[in-house]
Amino acid sequence: MINNITFSGHLGRDAEVRHTPKGDAVCSFAVPCTSGWGDKKKTVWVECSMWRERGEKLAPYLTKGTPVVVSGEFSMSDPYTDKKGETRVNARCNVNQIQLGKSSDAQPVAKAPVAKPADPVDNFYDDSIPF
């Protein structure tokens, strides 16, 4: 059975790195997914987890507001009762792939110098073309 989800959004908070009792790192962050329009607009927050070294290395880049596209294994939490007494479940994603977008407040990227075009070749003959 394939259980994958791909979604995009802007991070709702900075990523957090914690460690399991065995020492494995887990990087956690939340991404809102909005669907519908007008009165039918609905937002679902997806709690994302990246494990071990990959999560530790990417955490500094996963800051609030950063646009991301996330793919991974989808699951729902067990039902629980919130402070208002309502039964809730959380959407979760165990991240397999993540693509970071450019934040609107990011520093402009320096452009590489443009190389000078090569001089034209004068000894080109049409007879050398095989077609």
pLDDT at residue number 47: 95
E strands in the chain: 4-10, 16-19, 25-35, 42-51, 67-76, 80-81, 87-88, 91-100
Each domain of the chain, given as residue ranges in start order, spans: 4-104
The whole-number pLDDT of residue 112 equals 46
pLDDT in tens, the chain (131 residues): 578 999 999 999 999 999 999 999 999 999 998 888 899 998 889 999 999 999 999 999 999 999 999 999 999 988 889 899 988 888 999 999 999 987 655 444 444 455 555 555 555 555 555 55
Domain boundaries 4-104, corresponding CATH code? 2.40.50.140
Q: Tell me if residue 102 falls in helix, strand or coil.
A: coil
Tell me the β-bridge partners of 28: 16, 49
Question: What tokens appear for 90 in the block?
Answer: 């959380």
Question: Collapsing DSSP states into helix, strand and coil, what is residue 104?
Answer: coil
Integer Cα distance of 31 and 70 in angstroms: 9
Can you tell me which residue has the tokens 């065995």?
22
